[in-house]
Structure 1
């Protein structure tokens, strides 16, 4: 059985370095894989067994050897210190880098206005102010045999410029490279801050009443059964049930809903929501680690580790791209002078221009940032995505398969009529009592509706046996009671029976011993946003809509026709739904995906089998979060086309960044190779493209 261990990793700032660390750790005995999320400074390691002290030390040593200065801290330990130290470091860098640039430019101006021999000294001083850290990292990596990264490119380009006497350009290239890096880091930090603010739902403290006294504790210290006091404006610390008091809850941070939700005694409180104007006393029903707020935070934090195919490709691409451009630059510098009349210094200058513009920063930063922003934008809508890979898959949706009950319909059944079989001595209430006796402990929506319709006191049946999706039986007062679908009752009861066809909703047949005594008809209403949702999907070009349900064919047909869904299947058992999903997956078009939308609990196998599994109305349901790839926290079906639209927007932004960066770099590379572009143009193009790509990625944070 594989074990996942998560770490905070600091001191790694390039994708090539991250790939190097991942490969080195993955090569260790007992380690299956390693994945680094640079934007969130996290690493996930999958091992064959729990990481003991020896393996832990070996992993830490491997990281230090692969990237000197990198540090690891287990996320199982307290991580606030690591996070705070990282923030302090970022704030310090935000002050130091501008100061270095100012000193560098001041020294450059002094060099340009000073005659020899002091000019060269000022040029060197200016260069060191601007890029001492870049040069240091390049030399450190070269000593360890890790040549090819952006530090190496910039060092070779600027040192080469010094070598041919282009002092001012060497200093300017390094200075403007640092300016570009500074603004890129600033944009990335703001992106992180936006998502951190978005996910600022963790309660800081909780007031608990024990033995009549009030205590202020951390949410992690609460236990199930604790009595909580939640004042106006405070966050619900853990999932709980209201004991007394009434109020309204602000659920916007979790669901994206602006309207508050009213709660009173007996209602569930979801952790992370903000209490309104009333004082509530509640009983904790979950520990913090198992509560909704902790589950959501864990999901968002881990989303960066599940990378999209494009993201993984760009990371690997950067590993091979840099050595290739260095080789091309070397060929530009060496081959033309050997076979032509032009001097070596001219072609060396062109090769240096080629190196400056070839830096892959625009790609390796903006692509993951685009997917990260897309995840944040969807989270604002109350749609939680487990990784960039699911955003990319959602954007390619070709077929959407819906569960019916609880997804397209409210899933709240009510008994509309009881059909008494001719010749039977039972009345309607007695048939409801019989059915309720075996259904009383079932959580199925139909069972709940039957129990609610029965007004008399019912004694629960014994020896309950349930056939999922078909029926249930039990014994009461010496009689065997069976309740289930017509198909199921025809199989288990020898008594032939017949009832008029009902298309308005599902129905169950009731039998006592081997005699069918009646039928209970129920109705479920379609959600009001279901029809507009289907229309929105078709506007997006998604016309392959399918409905799978365990309800009767007539009931499923009725709902499908009402919504305009052309392909539907009823009377399906759980294994039948999986079989249908397999068929749909086989029929799907190339580069398209099949999405399943369900409740996240009863449809877990189908959710797992689909290319993308979406669970609806999952607020407070850990099972839904675990079973799904995408979790929509409310029952609002309009979030489905909105999520697909935002996923497409995110992928478009990422594609724009890739095309824009490669096109500009390709043009300037060509101009540099033929002597038209200068190093000034190259550095402006490189930093400008990177900065514009990062800023474009931030658009993914905003949803339409």
Structure 2
């Protein structure tokens, strides 16, 4: 069974290959017509190393553009090139290993145990080195002033090699490969230089604290990953499979479509399905962010990830686990980081030039004063070594992707699926929001409020023929007409049926030729439509029977709860609001006036909506244009917009396929929440960038003047990285407006104002 990771991905296929990494894959992706599989990257590696791996893999023939998801520690690779990829990655970081993705929890437990074992081993090494350093500090000066200087070197160098051998090994290997400027090279150069000028204790101390910082940094990053994943940890553990009178607990992946499962009170619904027996209230908050339990009965659909609160449910499985709603959510959230934001790309590029630049500055400090200003070489070399310790860019490179990963995870907790960090970033620069009307701003629950036949026809005749003509249509207006008619309809009464997109229906019913739809449809048939003075807001469905105008039916819709507040907040923030609808002008005008929408355009076919979108894209400049629709009828517009937002897309393949952001609960206010989360994520990320750059710049300047030593320089490296990671975890604890963030975190409400930051 191959599992699709997201919309727009290729179907998986079996791939026979000697390397066992190419078997039992659960995730596939198409890229440039090339099938890729998803692999987990085991072992510790720094974000700078991840950037190098990406760069080399992307430039190697056959791989194409490759992105490593540092936050999730995953990568998509062509299976036939997996051995070459492994070799490239090990050349940069020897400890890493590619492993096939398997969702079994036992594997995750084993992985965590291995990581804990490595942590204990590293911690033991650090403790031994620390003891040797203390011995050196206590007795080193005495040995140095006696004939036991060799003992001083033995103690210090033993401690140094314990914690620094791996760093030295990587530095030498990278130099041989031509990849000079990285944190290993910087630390090796700085500490070897310190040893050369007999600053043994500082060389050991710097390498020791660098190792401690790396350990803390890795643990903080892993804890951040686990916290983010915990937000969307809605994967069911098991399913109760019904087999005649027996109930067997099985893995959800082993259940087939059509089989029946039992869901007891308190259990997660393991697979999408239809309720055959029982009724209950289900908690959908993990999927939609909706806090109020939903009532479900026989015939209703329940989705994987919902929690059954009360009754016992017998459910017929509709989709395999690979295609279930919960798996789509998990895949979208985890893989969203592969679509990088411009900020991430900038930081990665910046780091490539920042490190060589700092090395050049350090080289100048080491050579220029002694050669041209009469300075003491050892003193200026020490200052240069201190600057090298400061200059590692890891704080920048690690905190940015973790920040976006946290923002995407936090959004999913609120029932908002963002399909990439690039879309989350784009949401901070929205200038225009285009809304579909029916089902987006209005409930899409239509009611027949008036039947107006002309002379020679009756209300019953008009309603009956309209209902029969609309028998095959799924449009909400058609459903409202059939519901008003209220009788059983037989499809065999239709001799001919054709649905004209955006216009209406033409059908032949027991020999009668019927047209039902917009005024234009009737006029195109050469039938005169009388002038109608309709003071009521709503949609008119005109009917013509056997070439004669027969009258009209007035259909009314209701404004959705939350629509007024959403439009008001967007207007207050200076964001232009526009409604695009296929409804007639009078109905559109009424809704636009009610909601105070800036502009509206009515009587639109799907291609007209795309045309209007194009015009707003040209007007927006650098600002982003958002289109919000139902994700099914508006797929072309959703796809073309800067950011396509699908409303109420839970369980809808079409919505997830076409949109960039999916609001799983059918509430317009979720758009405000999405922008709010994006703004907060951006705020934290730029806090980290500014903090890291300012601290490093200050310490570099102080290092030039000899005001800091190597011990203090370590804080400017690993200390800043750890603080940046911890700051990024604030995004995980973020609560949407109206809720208090855990620990008294950010509570400024976008509903109260931060949207104004975008103006």
- TM category (shorter chain) comes to over 0.9
What is residue 97 of structure 2 aligned with on the other side?
71
The change in CA–CA distance for 1:85 and 1:24 in structure 2 (over 3 A counts) is: farther
Partners of 2:43 and 2:97 within 8 A in 1 = yes
Shift of 1:82: 6.1
Pick from 25, 38, 49: which aligns with 2:70?
Answer: 38
Matches within 5 A, 1:473-512: 473-512=506-545
Q: Deviations over 1:108-129 (max 9, x none)?
A: 1111112323222222222233
Matched, 1:411 2:444: yes
Q: Secondary structure at the match of 1:520?
A: strand
1:375 aligns with 2:408: yes
- 1:174-199 CA-to-partner distances (Å, cap 9, x unmatched) read 22222222222222222111122112
User: Per-residue deviation at 1:607?
Assistant: 0.9
Q: Quick check: 2:281–2:309 contact (8 Å CA) kept in 1?
A: yes
Which of these residues, 163, 167, 176, is aligned with residue 143 of structure 1? 176
Contact 1:15 1:315 in 2 (8 A): no
Asked whether 1:559 is paired with 2:591, we answer: yes
- Mapped to 1, the partners of 2:536 and 2:574 lie a distance apart of 28
Determine if the alignment matches structure 1 residue 531 to structure 2 residue 557: no
**Within 1, Cα distance between the matches of 2:509 and 2:194?**
94
158-167 vs 22-31, greater mean Cα deviation: 22-31
Distance 1:548 1:651 in 2: 30
Structure 1 counterpart SS, 2:169 = helix
Which runs of 5 or more structure 1 residues have no equivalent in the other structure? 46-50
Moved more, 637-646 or 204-213: 204-213
Match of 1:580 among 612, 630, 634: 612
Segment drifting more, 383-392 vs 95-104: 95-104
Q: How does 1:328-347 map to 2 (within 5 A)?
A: 328-347=361-380
**Distance change (3 Å), C-alpha of 1:395 and 1:446:** same
| Paired position in structure 1 for 2:263 | 230
Using the alignment, how far apart are the partners of 1:203 and 1:126 within structure 2? 48
- 1:79 shift after superposition: 7.0
Equivalent position SS for 1:26:
helix
Q: CA deviation at 1:142?
A: 2.5
Q: Does 2:180 match 1:155? A: no
* Alpha-carbon contact 1:403-1:598 (below 8 Å) kept: yes
1:626 is matched with 657
Q: Does residue 1:683 correspond to 2:714, yes or no?
A: yes
Partners of 2:299 and 2:616 in 1: CA distance: 43
8 Å CA contact 2:45, 2:96 repeated in 1 = no
- Contact 1:300–1:385, Cα closer than 8 Å, also in 2: yes
Does the 8 Å CA contact 2:44/2:218 hold for their aligned counterparts? Answer: no
> Could you give the per-residue CA deviations for residues 627-656 of structure 1, whole angstroms, max 9, x where no partner exists?
111111101222211221121111111111
Shift of 1:133: 2.6
SS of equivalent to 2:274: strand
Contact 1:598 1:615 in 2 (8 A): yes
Deviates more, 1:220-229 or 1:2-11: 2-11
In 1, Cα distance between equivalents of 2:259 and 2:270: 11
Which deviations, in whole Å up to 9, do the C-alpha atoms of 1:367-394 show, x marking residues without a partner?
1111111112212211111111111100
Q: Hey, what's the Cα distance between the residues in 2 that align with 1:86 and 1:155?
A: 30
Displacement of 1:169 after TM fit?
1.3
Give the secondary structure class of the aligned counterpart of 1:419. Answer: strand
With over 3 angstroms needed to count, the CA separation of the structure-2 counterparts of 1:549 and 1:503, relative to structure 1, is: farther
1:105 counterpart (119, 125, 130): 130
**What are the equivalent positions in structure 2 for 1:65-464 lying under 5 Å apart?**
65-75=91-101, 83-114=108-139, 115-116=142-143, 117=148, 118-421=151-454, 423-425=455-457, 427-460=458-491, 461-464=494-497
TM-score by length of 2: 0.88
Please state how far the C-alpha of 1:507 moved relative to its aligned partner.
1.7
Match of residue 636 from structure 1: 667
More deviation in 172-181 or 439-448?
172-181
Match of 1:697 in 2: 728
Structure 2 counterpart SS, 1:31:
coil
Once structures 1 and 2 are overlaid, which stretch shifts more, 310-319 or 571-580?
Answer: 310-319
In structure 2, do the counterparts of structure 1 residues 80 and 72 end up closer, same or farther at CA, with 3 Å as the change threshold?
farther
User: Retained in 1: the 8 A contact 2:427–2:624?
Assistant: yes
Q: Distance in 1 between matches of 2:82 and 2:715?
A: 44
Residue 83 of structure 1 and its aligned partner are, at CA, apart by 4.1
TM-score by length of 1: 0.94
**Cα deviation code 1:598-621 (max 9, x no counterpart):** 111111111111111111111111
Indicate if the aligned counterparts of 1:437 and 1:458 stay in contact, CA closer than 8 A.
yes
The farther-off stretch of 127-136 and 230-239 is: 127-136
1:318 Cα shift?
1.6
Shifted more, 203-212 versus 519-528: the winner is 203-212
Structure 2 equivalent of residue 670 of structure 1: 701
Select which of 575, 597, 605 maps to 1:543: 575
Root-mean-square deviation over aligned CA pairs = 1.9
- Conservation of the 8 A alpha-carbon contact between 1:73 and 1:82: no
Distance in 1 separating the partners of 2:324 and 2:495: 35
Report the number of matched residues: 693
Note the alpha carbon deviations across 1:331-354, whole angstroms, 9 max, x for none.
Answer: 221222111211211111111111
Distance 2:471 2:268 in 1: 36
2:52 matched to which residue of 1? 20
Unaligned runs of 5+ in 2: 1-31, 737-759
Task: Map Cα deviations across residues 234-273 of structure 1 (whole Å, 9 max, x no partner).
Answer: 2111111111101111111111122211111111101111
489-498 or 523-532, larger mean C-alpha shift:
489-498
